Structures are given as structure tokens and as C-alpha cells.
Amino acid sequence: MVEVAILGAGRFGRSMHVLLARADIDAALVRRGEAVPPARVVWLAVRDGDLREASAAVPDGALTLHASGALAPSVLPPRLRAGVLHPMMTFPGPEVAIPDVQGVPARVDGHPDALQAAIALASRLGLRPLHVTDGARWHAAACMVSGHLAELTLRAATVLEQAGLDPRDARECLGPLARTSLANVLAHGDAALTGPATRGDRTTTEAHLDVLAGESRDVYAALSRAILARTR
């Protein structure tokens, strides 16, 4: 019997398989359609919409976790002792990068047995388990600082490309500013916000809007309004 059977060989599942091995946790990576081996914990690492179908392969009464940040344990059938373990971290896949998860917060929830198992597994991986029942808000916040922040950065890089930089230089040019700005706001909150919107400098803001177009202009305008409202 393995300790953890990960059902789902996508980017998250493959990444967690590597991290479990590094933590000396006996784990099996199970692809869709393959039989789930006997395991102390089954961890469903599939898309949210595929959870119910994937759970059909899990034996009755099995201690089962899913990795959806947004969904409740109750998305799994009552015949399972169901819970949630969702790290607040990006997993682009082992081919790109394996993140350092030491101290990374992770949402845990569910049936008492599953909750205990999720806390234990998270702790062994070096994660910091947090009992969060409101998955929708947890996952929305995660998306805002992951995919949305990445998209914003790529849009800013495109603006620099339009100013004449090649794509790699454009991304690297933004790196020091992006990392420092994020570190400052995480440490100091609202006090770390800078830029023309924080000063109510409409002249500069309008000049920026004049050179932007389409969705990038809309995003810039919306974020400028949000910053202005926060710093009034």
C-alpha cells in the first residue's frame, strides 16, 4: 500500500509527485483510466469539472482529498471521507519549474479524518495548513495574484515591446520593479502603493492612456481608478 495515490497526471499532479518523493513520501501517480492502487490517501489532482467522474474510481470509504481551491469537500460523493488540500502556489509543471513550498499556505477542509490527513500531509511537505471553508474567496484571491498578476506583467512587457525592446529584454526590464513592488506591498500594505494614481496625477495618467489601446487601456484605467479610490 502506498501512502498517497495521486489521481491525475497534469501539471499539478506531476509536480506534487516530485515534491512527495523529495519529502520521502511513498506516492503513486495514477493517470485517468488506470486503476487506483491501495493507498492511505487518494489525492484527486484533476480539473474541477472532472472531480465527480474521477472520484468514481475511488473505493467506498477511502480517505480522499481533492486539490480544488474553489470547491468544497462535498463536491465528492458522500460514500468517501472527503477533504481538500490546495496549496496557494503556482505549479507550471516539472518541465518548467518545481516551486519551493516550504512555508507556503495551503487550504485544508473536510471530514474530520480527511482534515487530519490533509494537515498531516501538508505539514510533511513543508506547507502551512490553514482551515478555510470559503473556497471561492480563497481561490479568487489566489487567481488575482497568480494568473491575473502574470497577465498584467505580460501586458506591461508588450507595452515595452511597442517602445522598441525585444520580448526577453521587456520581461527582464520589469523584473526588479515587479519584485520590489510586490515585496513592499506584502510587507507594508497600502503604504507601499506608488505611482501617479496614488498622487491623483491625472495629467500623467491621461498621457499613459493616450498611448495604450484596447484591453490594455481598459485594464490600466480600471486599476488606476481602484488605486485612486484606495488611497484617497
**Tens digits of residue pLDDT in 162-203:** 999 999 999 999 999 999 999 999 999 999 999 999 999 999
Cα 46 from Cα 66, distance rounded (Å): 8
For the CA atoms of 190, 193, 196, 199, the dihedral, rounded to the nearest 10 degrees, stands at 40
The CATH homologous superfamily of the domain defined by 2-133: NAD(P)-binding Rossmann-like Domain (3.40.50.720)
Among the listed residues 149, 49, 145, 50, the one whose alpha carbon sits nearest the alpha carbon of residue 105: 145
| DSSP 3-state of 143 | helix
- What distance lies between CA 57 and its chain's CA centroid? 26
- The pLDDT confidence band at residue 32, using thresholds 50, 70 and 90, is confident
39: region left, alpha or beta (phi > 0 left; psi from -120 to 50 alpha): beta
Q: Which pTM does this prediction carry?
A: 0.90
Could you state, in order of their start, the residue ranges of all structural domains in the chain?
A: 2-133, 145-231
Average pLDDT over residues 39-63: 96
pLDDT of residue 33: 87
Query: Which cell is 123 given?
Result: 505539514
Cα 158 from Cα 125, distance rounded (Å): 37
CATH of domain 145-231: 1.10.1040
| DSSP 3-state of 81 | strand
